[in-house]
Amino acid sequence: MSPLLKIARRKRSKVWHFRRLVLESLGKDLWKELYFIQDVAKSNHKNYQLWHHRRWVAEKLGVAVAPEELRFTELVLASDAKNYHAWSHRQWVLKALGGWEAELSFCSMLLQEDIYNNSAWNQRFFVIKNSPLLEGLDSMRESEVEYCINAIKLAPLNESSWTYLRGLFGNDTKSLGDSQSIGQVCFEELARDRCCIPALSFLLDLVCYGFQPTVDDCKILDSSIEILSSLQLALYLCERLEVVDAIRACYWAWRRSLLPAIIK
């Protein structure tokens, strides 16, 4: 960053700080300040000083402002679905001021509009994990796995839904490896497209976690396969990924080199 740009940013930050001092000293109506910020945000919605100022105002107004703040972030996200500032502010509002009631539905709506919206997937995970109205990740896992599997069937090449599915299990790799339904999803997608990289990658992880497919499942990968040990299958998947995911061939070769120590 150039010295001139640094100076300019410091000056802008001081102006916003001075505005807060004036607002507080004069006891101005902070609800009106929200509308001022909204007008400024129309052309400056990535200005981090603006978002800092917005949070300060929201903190002063308290829980009553939560619906307004959620609506504000929705307006910004409608024009910029990946706006980091808006998502960060929204998460802060939920944690500090509340408004969890409709958040899962909001995420579902965004994903219905765009199943590839990684930010919406991230927000959904945030809600499942943090909402005081839900019973936590473990209790929601079964229904979320079903939701995720349906999303994968709609867009098998969407890395976001596969990543979300993996995240639902956290460090509980045993439960993930024991899940026959998830293993079958991988094979169903590979039956449609033997080069489906996310399915091959996920299946590799499942095998490393103890998943044991049937001979018929393995024949989906290659009709000439009779029976493979877990190690042989994992090696086969790595070799396959080195070909179909050539841009990451070195990574898959590295993964392959580790398999003998992982799978006994």
Residue 57: pLDDT band with limits 50, 70, 90: very high
Report the pLDDT value the prediction gives residue 242, as an integer from 0 to 100: 97
How many structural domains compose the chain?
1
**Residue tagged 């990543």 (tokens):** 163
Domain annotation covers residue 51: no
- Among 164, 229, 170, 232, CA closest to 198: 164
Domain annotation covers residue 254: yes
CA 256, CA 264: separation in Å to the nearest integer?
A: 14
Whether 2 shows a pLDDT value over 80: the answer reads: no
Q: HSE on the CB side for 177, CA within 13 Å?
A: 14
CA 20, CA 18: separation in Å to the nearest integer?
A: 5
CA 66, CA 15: separation in Å to the nearest integer?
A: 26
Query: Which residues belong to the active site?
Result: 46
CA 55, CA 49: separation in Å to the nearest integer?
A: 10
**Average confidence score pLDDT of the chain:** 91
Domain annotation covers residue 251: yes
Give the range among 91-95, 132-136, 239-243 with minimum mean pLDDT. 132-136
Helix/strand/coil for 212? coil
55 CA to centre of own chain: 23
Report the pLDDT value the prediction gives residue 130, as an integer from 0 to 100: 96
Report the pLDDT value the prediction gives residue 198, as an integer from 0 to 100: 97
Domain annotation covers residue 246: yes
Domain annotation covers residue 86: no
Q: pTM of the full predicted structure?
A: 0.88
Domain annotation covers residue 22: no
Report the pLDDT value the prediction gives residue 190, as an integer from 0 to 100: 95
Q: Which domain holds residue 226?
A: 169-264
Residue 28 phi, psi (nearest 5)? -70, 160
Which whole number is the average pLDDT over 152-162?
96
Q: Which two tokens stand for residue 164?
A: 């979300």
To the nearest 10°, report the CA torsion of 240, 244, 248, 252.
Answer: -10
Report the pLDDT value the prediction gives residue 13, as an integer from 0 to 100: 67
Q: Degrees (nearest 5) of the Cα angle 54, 58, 63? A: 155
Residue 1: pLDDT band with limits 50, 70, 90: very low
Helix/strand/coil for 224? coil
What tens digit of pLDDT does each residue of 78-89 get?
989 999 999 999
Q: HSE on the CB side for 78, CA within 13 Å?
A: 7
- Among 81, 100, 50, 103, CA closest to 160: 81
Q: HSE on the CB side for 75, CA within 13 Å?
A: 14
Domain annotation covers residue 33: no
Instruction: Please check whether residue 111 is in contact with residue 124, taking contact to mean a CB–CB distance below 8 angstroms.
Output: yes
Domain annotation covers residue 77: no
Report the pLDDT value the prediction gives residue 5, as an integer from 0 to 100: 37
**Percentage of the chain with pLDDT > 70?**
95
What tens digit of pLDDT does each residue of 202-241 get?
999 999 999 999 888 888 988 887 767 899 999 999 999 9
